[in-house]
Amino acid sequence: MSGWRKCDTCRKVRSTEDFDGDGPKCTPCRTTPLPVSRTRATAVVRRTAPRPAAVPSTEAGPRRPLLGTVGSGDLEVRERRARRAAAEALAQSHLQEFALLLRDARAAEGLRPLGIVPPAPDSEEGE
């Protein structure tokens, strides 16, 4: 058997002479008193002053300049994206009317038709 062992308490490698037989603790760990446990400190609570509530303006004035770059947070981009999503949803719900309006708008701009054929009405005409 080797002359060295590891203590289970302090995890130090000591000679077998520092242990009492096959005990897991070394002599210094058995003879010194346990350290006094400290109580856990309470968490620090930081309080900030409440922000004043935003008062909506009754006047519709010019928009203030937007800060930052154009992107997902830009107000105008979000408005355009919302308008486009609403137009797509409306086009899906009223497919025939949308196809007719799109055809007329393209013709007014001098563009050729897209080849979108307006769907047939729900009622069947004499077959």
pLDDT in tens, 96-114: 888 888 888 888 888 887 7
pLDDT in tens, 9-65: 888 998 888 888 888 888 888 888 776 666 777 777 777 877 777 766 666 667 666
Spatial contact of 13 and 2, defined as CB atoms under 8 Å apart: no
User: Could you state, in order of their start, the residue ranges of all structural domains in the chain?
Assistant: 1-30
Q: What is the pLDDT of residue 127?
A: 45
Spatial contact of 96 and 90, defined as CB atoms under 8 Å apart: no
Q: What is the pTM of this model?
A: 0.30
Spatial contact of 96 and 118, defined as CB atoms under 8 Å apart: yes
Can you tell me which residue has the tokens 């981009």? 77
